[in-house]
Amino acid sequence: QVQLVESGGGLVQAGGSLRLSCAAIGNISSMDAMAWYRQAPGKQREFVAVITNDGLINYVDSVKGRFTISIDNAKNTLYLQMDNMKPEDTAVYYCAYQGRLGGSWGQGTQVTVSS
């Protein structure tokens, strides 16, 4: 089973930037995709961005042009670069792994954007 450990969350002012990291521990050779989700207080968890094993990338409309998902295969690490951040980006961010042998979630990292 692949374990995921997120880092990089914190407090940032509107217009600022943060980079989240998600280290995958274990064998990810059967990876189909890795993704970022977020959950704001009182709301359901929502999809943010995904990158597939074939390099296909997709974003939720609200972050297009501001967030960038990437993966460093040598380091088994997923990233989410967040620029021009808005207060509505405030949430707990989770990374997710989906492979042919199953999936897993990270523990989440808090991101707070002040206005």
Share of the chain above pLDDT 70, in %: 100
pLDDT tens readout for residues 67-115: 999 999 888 999 999 999 999 999 999 999 999 988 999 999 999 999 9
Question: What residues have CB less than 8 Å from 57, skipping those under 6 apart?
Answer: 49, 50, 51, 69
pLDDT value at residue 28:
84
Element (H, E) at 70: strand 67-72
If one compares 27 and 8, the residue with the highest pLDDT of the two is 8
Residue 7: other Cβ atoms inside 10 A:
13
pLDDT value at residue 30:
87
Question: Rounded distance, CA 67 to CA 92, Å?
Answer: 16
